[in-house]
Amino acid sequence: MPSPTFGHVGTARPGDLFASRLDLSLRGQHRPPRAGVCATVAHGAESIILADQYEDDEIHDDYFWYAGHGGRNGQTGRQVTDQEFNYRNRALARSQETGRPVRVFRRIDGAGAAWQFRYEGLWRVVAHEYVIGKSGYRVYRFRLEPM
């Protein structure tokens, strides 16, 4: 497995568009072709994808709350169990400890495609909480702010 990369990868800069998750993976921007978090517990999160799949994500202009990984029904998008402190959630908490930058990509509607992914730049995890989410199950939420 390649060493984690924190910060920009190659010449990619905020606003750049990528055709698909596979495109992101092949270019080393966000290596997992399906998972929303690219991370290791030891080093933290390298990148995340905001894909409007978790009902407890909360997006604002100058910060966002990113719902942690797990407990979601893949068909409906709703939480069906409490989230656990699994390795992806532990890695996001580790990012808060280290202060390392996290690359953020957001799924957007794309002309001529079902969707594209826009590079939102480098963000930092500044807080996290374990709260009752919209469906009544406990979820981890991570607050990210731009660097």
Q: Tell me the per-residue pLDDT of 67-115, one tens digit each, with 9 for 90 and over.
A: 999 999 878 878 999 999 999 999 999 999 999 999 999 999 866 666 7
For residues 106-135, average pLDDT: 89
Residues 6+ apart with CB under 8 A from 36: 48, 49, 51, 53, 69
Q: What does pTM read for this prediction?
A: 0.92
DSSP three-state, residue 23: helix
Domain assignment present for 82? no
For residues 45-62, average pLDDT: 92
pLDDT at 109: 81
- The residues pairing with 128 across neighbouring beta strands, listed in sequence order, are 142
For residues 129-140, average pLDDT: 96
Q: What is the CATH number of the domain that holds 118?
A: 2.30.280.10
Domain assignment present for 136? no
Mean pLDDT of the chain: 92
Domain that holds residue 103: 16-72+99-124
pLDDT at 35: 87
The count of domains in the chain is 1
Lookup result for tokens 């998008």: 77
CB 57 within 8 Å of CB 66: yes
